[in-house]
Structure 1
Amino acid sequence: MTVVVIEPISSGITYLNAAQELGIDLYVFSTDEGECSIDGTMRQKAKEIIKIDTSDFHSQLSKINELKTVRAILPGVEYAVPMAAQLGNSFAKNSLEYTTAQTVRNKFKFRDKLTKSGLSDIQYALISQGKEICLPQGFKFPAVVKPVDMAGSMSVKKVADFEELLRTVEAIWKSKPNDIGFYASGDLIVEEYIVGKEYSVEGIVHTDGKITFASLTEKLLGPEPYFVEIGHIVGNKYDGQFSEHVFDYAAKVIQTLELNIGPFHLELRVTPQGKAVAIELAARLPGDNIVELIKLATNFDLAQAVLSEYLDLPYSPSIEKNMVSAIAFIPQGNHRLFKGFSGLDQLLEAPECVHHHFYYEADDELACNHDWTSRLGYIILRSESEDKIRSLVTHIHEQVKVI
């Protein structure tokens, strides 16, 4: 019994540990070069790293047929979601429907479907190169403009008025957004800005249609007009009515989008009036170490649950809610050259600190992007006290300085 994971760059890495613990052979399909290079640890955990063009359907299908025992194909990164579904639909018993994958991978199609189903009432419009920008009558600014097909907050910006929208659209097209070899199509969506606090809902859709909600994750964002995620908190003790409303809304979104199996990561905002409004949904495991945060806070292994669901293995989800976990990213601010951090010494030795990872070394040059690439590293925390976690996250964001 084997599975294939396509380009395990982000959240898909967690499948390697989960497969090893479950005794499942896992093959990695990867271009294995540049940002998609497979490191030594991953090579040790995979059954085999198969270097292949992960944008080529037929070559991958041929390889899967050669392997013979493959039971499921899973995306290891956002951009692989449609390909994993298309390959899975060709032969696997359990697979996300390809049409569903296409809908959730396109932010305009996603918004359009929710609007027509009564689950979204914000106004929006598609912007395509070579066509006049036409906004719905009564469209209200501020608004948010972004590519329909990128991830990681790439080229997402809040705009104050129509003139700023025009300038931002031209700037996005000029920059030609790309990420790990994936290039944006050029289509953009502009939609009314949603006032409210941001959250994400993580879980799994079972083959019988039932949904297991693993987490209601609080999102911490950097300063607008950008939407860089600088932290996540899992295990918060929410008011029962609040979480019930959010989960009920999430279930309706999932059913409307016709997710038939697998993990989901739904980002949404809750308005000051208490109304949940979806932002986007990813039909894959969440990134930013959220899978690890869920396990630290609840002892629920979402990656194991997904593999078990696809392979029809027994798995009893037991979600304990006795801990709080968080990840705090360190943003680069206006720095263009990395020298180090100050204010970290005692923090890294605190009992709540699980581990940390910093991406840069002294004298490394820094990019000037307002997306996930502007984060210099992270610290993962865990405690029984939500107040303690919040205090530590605040300390990291306010007291840890880039030199």
Structure 2
Amino acid sequence: MNRKTVVLVEPSFYGVSFAKAAYKKGYKVVCVVSSVENPTVYGYEDVFHDLIEADIRDVNSVLKAIKESIYYNKIDALIPATDFASAITAKVAEELGLKNVTYNAAFLARNKDYAREIYKQHSVPSAKFKKVQSYDDALIAAESIGFPVVLKPTNAASSQNVFFIKDKENLYNSMKKIQEFKYTYMDFNVRDEYLIEEYLDGNEFSVELFLLDGKPILSVVTEKQTSDLPYFVETMHVLPAPINEDLEEQITLTALKALEAIGLVNGPSHVEIKVTSNGPKIIEVNGRPGGDNISSDLLKLSFGLDVFENTVNYYTDSPIDLSKKHQKGSAIAYLTSEVEGELLEIIGDKEVLEHENLSRLEITCNPGDRILIPQSSDDRLGYVITVAETSEEAKIIADQLISRLKILIKREHTQVTS
């Protein structure tokens, strides 16, 4: 019996876990890539069998490359392994007659302004918003909504160029910066249309979901912490969120309503929400498993669940099992700096590594690197992942361990400890 062929479009970041899952199942793993160097760049050089090179930003290029490959008409599953290529992958899958998320749903999940329009039409609780292109447009929008507001790109990620705007001067300076932001990860274009949104004050959560025909077979709420304003960098995730059942239900129902509105009714999703004084409101919907180690680590540690394996199962029409194998709490805390300068050293890791509740410690920077006060996820310096009997315990331990890591920085000929 021939083994199944799974084609992944540009595995990167969270999407590397798709390659690992498919490879572990014994499938033939073929990756459509923008560069043959990418398996090394993103760390999946040992879990694929072949590459197809194409411009992953272009539907026709990906379709042509697949049709000209030896795998044409032999593909069992075509899976987007980066959310930037999700809409393109959906369109290619439609052309090839393969199971897929609809192009419209994938497009809406990637373009925040169009999604906001749909939420408004379907009465999904969401922020007030205006789409703008210039400072003049932005000022009119901000004054209409009322300061403070949030300025963000319509199709970027990882909190890149997301600004908290408190006044006109702040808006003017931030518009200049965001208009210079032309390309995001893997050279995907950043649209020259931006969002001015109502600032949602409240605690932030995400919902990790897996749907089949609109019905959730997995639903877990994650608690988040973010950096101090004016930025929105995520600094901690706790799973499951230590909240009461009533609030969990409200958050989940809001997420499901948003997914139904944009037509994302099958497969994994990661929905970000703020709980305001007027109840839960949608920040954004992502048609993929949660990144930031939520799906790759926390769901496994807390419940023994593998969303990536089950996504591969979904696309290959194999049995899906998302039943919880156990009940624990887990957390990830990110290392960030309060000052800028040249990294000399990070100390304290030996003590952290000895802790019995530590699942993993990763330092993602090196001596000599330029260190910034975090403005996006790219500016984080590492993380600790913890597991315990309860979420509260895992959260406390993660906070304690990350605080034991001391960042030594050279700033203007002065050594600083952060």
Output the TM-score relative to the length of structure 1: 0.92
C-alpha distance in structure 1 between counterparts of 2:285 and 2:121, whole Å = 16
Q: Which residue of 2 aligns with 1:318?
A: 323
Question: For 1:38, what is the secondary structure of its paired residue?
Answer: helix
* Candidates 241, 261, 266, aligned match of 1:261: 266
Q: 1:77 aligns with which of 71, 77, 82?
A: 82
**Map of 1:181 onto structure 2:** 187
Residues 92/2 of structure 1: CA separation in 2 closer, same or farther (3 Å cut): farther
The residue number in structure 2 matching 1:343 is 348
Preserved contact between residue 201 and residue 213 of structure 1 (Cα < 8 Å): no
Matching of residue 380 in structure 1 with residue 380 in structure 2:
no
Partner of 1:170: 176
Shift of 1:322: 1.3
Q: Does structure 1 conserve the Cα–Cα contact (< 8 Å) formed by 2:330 and 2:386?
A: yes
Q: Distance in 2 between matches of 1:160 and 1:305?
A: 44
Q: Distance in 1 between matches of 2:293 and 2:322?
A: 20
The CA deviation at 1:226 is 0.3
Single out whichever of 227-236 and 142-151 deviates more from structure 2.
227-236
- 1:287 maps to 291
Paired position in structure 2 for 1:271: 276
1:287-318 Cα offsets, whole Å, 9 max, x none, are 11111211111111101111111111112221
The corresponding residue for 2:27 is 24
Paired residues of 1:88 and 1:95 also in contact (CA < 8 A) = yes
Structure 2: unaligned runs, 5 residues or longer: 409-418
**Of residues 173, 192, 201 in structure 2, which corresponds to 1:195?**
201
The alignment of Structure 1 onto Structure 2 pairs a total of residues equal to: 400
The aligned residue for residue 57 of structure 1 is 59
Q: Take 1:347 and 1:5, find their aligned partners in 2: how far apart are those partners?
A: 36
Asked whether the 8 Å contact 1:235–1:322 carries over to 2, the reply is no
Moved more, 92-101 or 53-62: 53-62
3-state SS of the aligned residue for 1:232? strand
2:10 aligned residue: 7
Query: 1:149 is aligned with what amino acid?
Result: N
Q: Secondary structure at the match of 2:292?
A: coil
Letter of the 1:290 counterpart: I
Q: How much does 1:144 deviate?
A: 0.6
Q: Distance in 2 between matches of 1:86 and 1:40?
A: 25
The 5-angstrom pairing of residues 18-167 of structure 1 reads: 18-32=21-35, 36=38, 38-39=40-41, 42-65=44-67, 66=69, 67=71, 68-120=73-125, 122-129=127-134, 132-133=137-138, 134-135=140-141, 138-167=144-173
Partner of residue 231 from structure 1, selected from 231, 236, 241: 236
- Between the aligned partners of 2:265 and 2:246, the Cα distance in structure 1 is 27
Q: Would you say 1:244 and 2:249 are equivalent positions?
A: yes
Asked if 1:393 corresponds to 2:398, the answer is: yes
Q: Shift of residue 46 of structure 1?
A: 0.9
Distance 2:187 2:371 in 1: 20
Structure 1 runs of 4+ aligned residues shifted over 4 Å read none
Of all paired residues, the percent bearing the same amino acid is 25
Q: Secondary structure at the match of 2:191?
A: coil
CA contact (8 A) 2:329 2:393 kept: no
The SS at the match of 2:12 is: coil
Q: Is the 2:364–2:382 Cα contact (8 Å) retained in structure 1?
A: yes
Following TM superposition, by how much is the alpha carbon of 1:276 offset from its aligned partner in structure 2, in angstroms? Answer: 0.9
Partners of 1:80 and 1:346 in 2: how far apart? 41
Aligned Cα root-mean-square deviation (Å): 2.2
The one-letter code of the counterpart of 2:283 is I
Contact preservation (8 Å) 2:52, 2:66: no
Give, in angstroms, the shift of residue 400 of structure 1. Answer: 2.5
Mean Cα displacement is larger for which, 307-316 or 157-166? 157-166
Structure 2 CA distance for aligned equivalents of residues 308 and 157 of structure 1 = 39
Letter in 2 for 1:71: D
CA deviation string 1:13-33 (max 9, x = no partner): 111221123222221111236
Distance change in 2, residues 1:369/1:176 (3 Å): farther
Q: Which runs of 5+ in 1 are unaligned?
A: none
1:62 positional shift = 2.9
Go from structure 1 to structure 2 and tell me whether the alpha carbon gap of 1:262 and 1:121 turns closer, same or farther (over 3 Å shift): closer
Alpha-carbon distance in structure 1 between the residues aligned to 2:98 and 2:284: 27
Name the structure 1 match of 2:413: none
